[in-house]
Structure 1
């Protein structure tokens, strides 16, 4: 029945697409990055046009849809990035209050005044909603954008939407990563509430503490497999434990090292032993000072992680493993070079988190949407 709901996904990537497919919801994507478009094609996803501004300029190219999803670029808003967007938060809120989003051309022109053209992209969802009035809305961004979502929620309520805004922790929905995201959920035909957690939050200061009435969080070892990670399993090789740098450490208790060697972080800035890293959800690690903002935790984790290899030395995390830590299905066909694959993985909303959000958002609407499409 969920197949009767049609979604339009701005800044699509693939995370929402994986979730929507698992729920039987048809997705039309809008994506600019060439490699991401190639990945979408390889995965069988539909990309209807490339630039969100094109759809705002010509509504005729926008397919009909019940559900609107957007994950605008977060580099300028990230704690780890240059921070242009954080400095412009007050200006962004002023653009909302002055209803600049009602004129897409004016909104685009305002981007240069914010210090970074990408910053105004965070308001393109509101411009789209103003024109198309989708029944259901799901927006996702880094936590620093929560004040923008809150300002937008006031506008949406004036337009008749029920709205929920808040932060969600990815590990509470089965994602093997402690990733916090700012979420806006809205509906024209029912009250909105966040998805109910299925797993415990990871309490970093008290790892033994578990929330009641839910499953334990999923660890990095659970996601990748301790006896040889995903890539090693595929090659039929078992992981060989190596001695760490502390005298007397047993070979079966290897050291795992996350080393951020670029993006403004000192080499060896993070170090975890076996039980500190693999027996917990993947940590959220960020760096700063790069053009991409160093903003996406899993991309940094993937690029600057050393793990024991089958040869007794260390090796980097491979894209397949990084994807597993984002809760992608095994074998998902990421396209492009290794760096571009990591970037796509890092930019994505974790599919399990996305599925929890969409399931909660669509649940009260299924019968109504089904009936309306058959009138």
Structure 2
């Protein structure tokens, strides 16, 4: 399939959109965080700064692909069990939505949830069903990603979308298995309208295991990529995590530059970077932290809380693999090897006013 435009819900600073633009696809993102929107605009990405819940597919008539990564905070399984209760609530709402219960009743019940963010994970399903019911124009493909704890929600989505005529696959992907120099797990769903099977992307690189050589494992796959592969530091280094076990600094996680990074979080600037002799070095810059997520070296990070923007983003290299899987494409090597610099031609032309940006919907009243 050849998509026309992707509408990206909860678009963040642009991880998926960077990949899409590099693949030559038009995007428009909906994001309510002003800082992430500042970065998106600096990057030339078409952006609507607003609440996803105020919009729907009718306002994006050109978009034939739906993507999204809703907030995940309420789905943690740690602590008091609120995450588990949220999950049970969400699965019940999925059933109600697929059964086409009254939308206003569902919205009213969603407003009663302990944390309003819980209901946001249902927004992509609302958009998908509205495109079918109200417009008789189903999205040709759907791509969703989130933390591993959200996988049961994607499994419920998969069952729902199959009943609507989609071929669907979902599961957990490890970022280092797709050439991202970072260990990170993501719950991913890909769907395509029609009976032709769709599958999650096949790994291209070996998975990381502590203490195991990167040359070990399946010889048909490339070795996992290291921090040293993507950061231009002149000597080997160690990264010492800000997170400790029981407050014991000696128990904190350590990764060498000859290994992938641990999961990049919003607190990455707190991680110490030291030489192999223990000498303190400069901590990661925003550009370096972004490169560990496979953002371009010169990506124009803007606004406040840049570390959080970077940590929350989907890695563009992983996104490129996922998008290609959804469209039935082979991941183009030249695109994957060309993620190092920005801007892509389309975003550059939008910035310079040489062509119009994707059509923006009119603002609606709250």
- Report if TM-score (shorter chain) is over 0.5: yes
Alignment match, 2:5:
6
The CA deviation string for residues 67-88 of structure 1, in whole angstroms up to 9 with x for no partner, is: 1001000111245788633332
Q: Following TM superposition, by how much is the alpha carbon of 1:54 offset from its aligned partner in structure 2, in angstroms? A: 0.8
Q: How does 1:132-151 map to 2 (within 5 A)?
A: 132=131, 133-151=138-156
Q: Following TM superposition, by how much is the alpha carbon of 1:363 offset from its aligned partner in structure 2, in angstroms? A: 2.8
Work out the number of aligned pairs and report it: 318
Give the 3 Å change call, closer, same or farther, for CA 104–226 of structure 1 in structure 2: farther
Give the 3 Å change call, closer, same or farther, for CA 360–118 of structure 1 in structure 2: same
Stretches of structure 1 that go unaligned for 5 or more consecutive residues are 229-252, 285-296, 366-375
The CA distance in 1 between the partners of 2:81 and 2:282, in whole Å, is 32
Secondary structure at the aligned position of 2:143 is classed as strand
The CA distance in 1 between the partners of 2:272 and 2:290, in whole Å, is 16
The CA distance in 1 between the partners of 2:99 and 2:123, in whole Å, is 7
Give the 3 Å change call, closer, same or farther, for CA 193–41 of structure 1 in structure 2: same
Alignment match, 1:250:
none
Q: How does 1:1-375 map to 2 (within 5 A)?
A: 2=2, 4-13=3-12, 14-48=14-48, 50-56=50-56, 60-78=58-76, 84-99=82-97, 102=100, 104-132=103-131, 133-189=138-194, 190-204=196-210, 206-208=212-214, 209-227=216-234, 256-260=239-243, 267=249, 269-272=251-254, 276-284=255-263, 297-300=264-267, 302-308=268-274, 312-337=279-304, 340-363=305-328
Q: Following TM superposition, by how much is the alpha carbon of 1:211 offset from its aligned partner in structure 2, in angstroms? A: 2.5
Alignment match, 2:357:
none
Alignment match, 2:339:
none
The CA deviation string for residues 304-360 of structure 1, in whole angstroms up to 9 with x for no partner, is: 211138x953443221111011010111001113xx111111111000000001012
Q: Contact 1:176–1:282 (CA<8 Å) still a contact in 2?
A: yes
Give the 3 Å change call, closer, same or farther, for CA 139–255 of structure 1 in structure 2: closer
Q: Contact 1:259–1:269 (CA<8 Å) still a contact in 2?
A: no
Q: Contact 2:237–2:273 (CA<8 Å) still a contact in 1?
A: no
Q: Contact 2:33–2:49 (CA<8 Å) still a contact in 1?
A: no
Q: Following TM superposition, by how much is the alpha carbon of 1:22 offset from its aligned partner in structure 2, in angstroms? A: 0.7
Length-normalised TM-score, structure 2: 0.79
The CA distance in 2 between the partners of 1:105 and 1:336, in whole Å, is 36
Q: Contact 1:145–1:182 (CA<8 Å) still a contact in 2?
A: yes
Q: Following TM superposition, by how much is the alpha carbon of 1:184 offset from its aligned partner in structure 2, in angstroms? A: 0.6
Task: State which drifts further: 112-121 or 28-37.
Answer: 112-121
Secondary structure at the aligned position of 2:8 is classed as strand
The CA distance in 2 between the partners of 1:45 and 1:304, in whole Å, is 29
Q: Contact 1:260–1:266 (CA<8 Å) still a contact in 2?
A: no
The CA distance in 2 between the partners of 1:117 and 1:101, in whole Å, is 22
The CA distance in 2 between the partners of 1:101 and 1:345, in whole Å, is 38
The CA deviation string for residues 265-284 of structure 1, in whole angstroms up to 9 with x for no partner, is: 66554242xxx421111112
CA RMSD of aligned residues (A): 2.7
The CA distance in 1 between the partners of 2:153 and 2:253, in whole Å, is 35
Q: Contact 1:30–1:50 (CA<8 Å) still a contact in 2?
A: yes
Q: Following TM superposition, by how much is the alpha carbon of 1:364 offset from its aligned partner in structure 2, in angstroms? A: 5.9
Give the 3 Å change call, closer, same or farther, for CA 105–37 of structure 1 in structure 2: farther
Stretches of structure 2 that go unaligned for 5 or more consecutive residues are 132-137, 331-366
Task: State which drifts further: 128-137 or 106-115.
Answer: 106-115
The CA distance in 2 between the partners of 1:119 and 1:205, in whole Å, is 38
The CA distance in 2 between the partners of 1:178 and 1:154, in whole Å, is 29
